[in-house]
């Protein structure tokens, strides 16, 4: 898929198989781009996002479909006027102000990727910690559920 991407983008001698694969990526990208609103629900895996989601992102993020680069203007995202809700979970807690905050590559990654595509109207809900005392986990989940119910009314 990656070889196909560069063969097609650089207009080198893409094989029929590479062109077919590229069309598959374009189809997935267009399905993604067609949405007005997005809901991502993702756990933290080793401080970042799960590789399955990263794989999806690497396939659907395509120049000419949802972002552009020009010599004059550099990068620009093509997905304007869309909203995204991000529901995060993690065993630990990574709030602003704690040393653990610097280890959180889950939320900054999602914000950066969506911002790159032009989606900067984001709402975020964090269900964390999920590995703590039963009381702390119950409180975290109740808080997240409340926020999700409020969000669902206006999203």
Ligand X SMILES: Cc1cc2nc3c(=O)[nH]c(=O)nc-3n(C[C@H](O)[C@H](O)[C@H](O)COP(=O)(O)O)c2cc1C
What CA–CA distance (Å, rounded) separates 86 from 147? 12
Shorter beta-carbon distance to ligand X: residue 44 or 79: 44
Cα gap 109→51, rounded to integer Å = 13
| Chain positions contacting ligand X, by CB under 6 A | 43-47, 89-92, 130
Name the residue nearer to ligand X (CB basis): 1 or 152.
152
Query: How far apart are the C-alpha atoms of 93 and 139, rounded to whole Å?
Result: 13
Report the nearest approach of ligand X to the CB of residue 94 (Å). 7
Nearest distance from residue 18's CB to ligand X, in Å?
32
Q: Nearest approach, Cβ of 41 to ligand X (angstroms)?
A: 7
Measured from the CB atom, the residue of 41 and 76 that comes closer to ligand X is: 41
Name the maximum alpha-carbon separation found in the chain.
61
Helix (H) or strand (E) holding 124: strand 121-127
């Amino acid at each position: 898929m990656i070889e196909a991407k560069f063969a097609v983008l650089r207009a080198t001698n893409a094989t029929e198989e590479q062109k077919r694969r590229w069309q598959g990526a374009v189809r997935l990208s267009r399905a993604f781009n067609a949405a007005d609103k997005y809901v991502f629900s993702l756990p933290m895996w080793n401080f970042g996002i799960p590789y399955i989601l990263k794989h999806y992102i690497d396939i659907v993020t395509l120049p000419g479909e949802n972002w552009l680069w020009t010599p004059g203007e550099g990068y620009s995202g093509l997905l304007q006027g869309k909203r995204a809700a991000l529901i995060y979970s993690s065993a630990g807690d990574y709030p602003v102000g704690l040393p653990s905050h610097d280890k959180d590559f889950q939320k900054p990654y999602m914000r950066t990727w969506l911002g790159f595509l032009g989606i900067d109207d984001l709402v975020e809900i964090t269900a964390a910690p999920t590995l703590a005392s039963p009381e702390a986990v119950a409180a975290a989940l109740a808080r997240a559920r409340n926020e999700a119910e409020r969000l669902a009314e206006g999203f």
